Structure 1
Amino acid sequence: MSSDATPDPYADKVAFGQRLQILRTRKGLTREQLGGLMGRSGSWVKGIESGRLKTPKLEIVLRLAEILRVRDLADLTGDQTVHVDLFTGPGHPRLAAVKAAVDAFPLTPTGEAPPAAHLQHRLARAWTARHTAPNHREVIGALLPDLIRDAQRAVRQADTAAQRRAAQAVLSEVYSLSQFFVAYQPDAALLWRVAERGMVAAQDSEDPHTIGVAAWLTAQAHRDSGPGHFDSADAVTAEALRFLEPQLPDATNDVLAITGALTFEAGYTAARRGETGTAWRHWDQARAMAARLPADYYHPVTSFSRAIMGAHAVTIAVELHAGGESVRQAAAADATTIPSRPRRARHRIEEARGYQLDGQPDVALATLAQAHEAAPETIQYNGYAKRIVLEETEAKSPDRRRRASALAVKLGMLAA
Structure 2
Amino acid sequence: MSFDAGPDSSADPIAFGQRLQILRTRRGVTREQLGGLMGRSASWVKGIETGRRGVPRLEVILRLAEVLRVQSLSDLTGNQTAPVALFTGPGHARLPAVRAAVDEFPISRPEAAAPAPKHLSARLARAWAARHTSPNHRDVIGALLPDLIRDAQAVVRQAETASNWRAAQATLAEVYALCQFFVSYQPDAALVWRVAERGMIAAQQSEDGHAIGVAAWLSAQAHRDRAHYDAAEHVVGEALRHLEPLLPDGTEPVRAIAGALRFEAGYTAARRGETGTAWRHWDEARQVADRLPETYFHPVTSFSRAIMGAHAVTVAVELHAGGESVRQAAASDAMAIPSRPRRARHRIEQARGYQLNGQPDVALATLAQAHEAAPETIRYNGYAKRIVLEETQAKSPNRRRRASALAVQLGLLAA
Counterpart-to-counterpart distance in 2, 1:331 and 1:24: 34
1:56 alignment partner in structure 2 = 56
What code does the residue aligned with 2:69 have?
Answer: R
1:271 CA displacement: 0.9
Residue 258 to residue 350, structure 1, CA distance change in 2 (3 Å): same
Q: Is the Cα contact below 8 Å between 2:7 and 2:19 reproduced in 1?
A: no
2:184 alignment partner in structure 1 = 183
Within the alignment, does 1:158 sit opposite 2:139 as a pair? no
Counterpart-to-counterpart distance in 2, 1:232 and 1:383: 22
TM-score by structure 2 length? 0.97
2:69 alignment partner in structure 1 = 69
What code does the residue aligned with 2:199 have?
Answer: G
Write out aligned runs for 1:37-116 (5 A): 37-108=37-108, 109-116=110-117
1:43 CA displacement: 2.4
What code does the residue aligned with 2:403 have?
Answer: A
Write out aligned runs for 1:339-358 (5 A): 339-358=338-357
Counterpart-to-counterpart distance in 1, 2:185 and 2:11: 24
Q: Which runs of 4+ in 1 moved over 3 A?
A: 9-12
Deviates more, 1:15-24 or 1:195-204: 15-24
Counterpart-to-counterpart distance in 1, 2:9 and 2:197: 29
Counterpart-to-counterpart distance in 2, 1:389 and 1:26: 27
Deviates more, 1:371-380 or 1:274-283: 274-283
Counterpart-to-counterpart distance in 2, 1:9 and 1:52: 23
- 2:55 is paired with a residue whose SS is coil
CA deviation profile, 1:197-232 (whole Å, cap 9, x unmatched): 000000000000000000000000000112xx1111
1:41 CA displacement: 2.5
- Is there any run of 5+ residues in structure 1 with no aligned partner, and where? none
1:42 CA displacement: 2.5
What code does the residue aligned with 1:341 have?
Answer: R
Q: Is the Cα contact below 8 Å between 1:10 and 1:75 reproduced in 2?
A: no
1:7 CA displacement: 6.2
Within the alignment, does 1:134 sit opposite 2:135 as a pair? yes
2:409 alignment partner in structure 1 = 410
Q: Is the Cα contact below 8 Å between 1:10 and 1:78 reproduced in 2?
A: no
Identity rate, percent: 78
Write out aligned runs for 1:241-320 (5 A): 241-320=240-319
What code does the residue aligned with 2:321 have?
Answer: A
The count of aligned residue pairs is 410
Counterpart-to-counterpart distance in 1, 2:33 and 2:308: 29
CA deviation profile, 1:155-201 (whole Å, cap 9, x unmatched): 11111110110110011000000000000000000000000000000
CA deviation profile, 1:57-80 (whole Å, cap 9, x unmatched): 111100111122222111111112
1:306 CA displacement: 0.5
Counterpart-to-counterpart distance in 1, 2:213 and 2:10: 39
1:195 alignment partner in structure 2 = 196
Within the alignment, does 1:18 sit opposite 2:18 as a pair? yes
What code does the residue aligned with 1:125 have?
Answer: R
1:294 CA displacement: 0.6
Q: Is the Cα contact below 8 Å between 1:89 and 1:380 reproduced in 2?
A: yes
Write out aligned runs for 1:367-382 (5 A): 367-382=366-381
Within the alignment, does 1:211 sit opposite 2:212 as a pair? yes
- 1:127 is paired with a residue whose SS is helix
What code does the residue aligned with 1:187 have?
Answer: D
CA deviation profile, 1:75-126 (whole Å, cap 9, x unmatched): 1111122121100000000001100000111112211111110110110010
Q: Is the Cα contact below 8 Å between 1:263 and 1:285 reproduced in 2?
A: yes
Write out aligned runs for 1:318-397 (5 A): 318-397=317-396
1:171 alignment partner in structure 2 = 172
- 2:248 is paired with a residue whose SS is helix
Residue 297 to residue 257, structure 1, CA distance change in 2 (3 Å): same
1:22 CA displacement: 1.7
1:399 alignment partner in structure 2 = 398
Counterpart-to-counterpart distance in 2, 1:20 and 1:145: 40
Deviates more, 1:189-198 or 1:58-67: 58-67
Counterpart-to-counterpart distance in 2, 1:199 and 1:38: 35
Counterpart-to-counterpart distance in 1, 2:191 and 2:48: 34
TM-score by structure 1 length? 0.97
1:8 CA displacement: 2.3
Q: Is the Cα contact below 8 Å between 2:90 and 2:380 reproduced in 1?
A: yes
What code does the residue aligned with 1:111 have?
Answer: A
- 1:250 is paired with a residue whose SS is coil
1:143 alignment partner in structure 2 = 144
Q: Is the Cα contact below 8 Å between 2:174 and 2:199 reproduced in 1?
A: yes
1:34 CA displacement: 2.2
1:33 CA displacement: 2.6
What code does the residue aligned with 1:85 have?
Answer: A
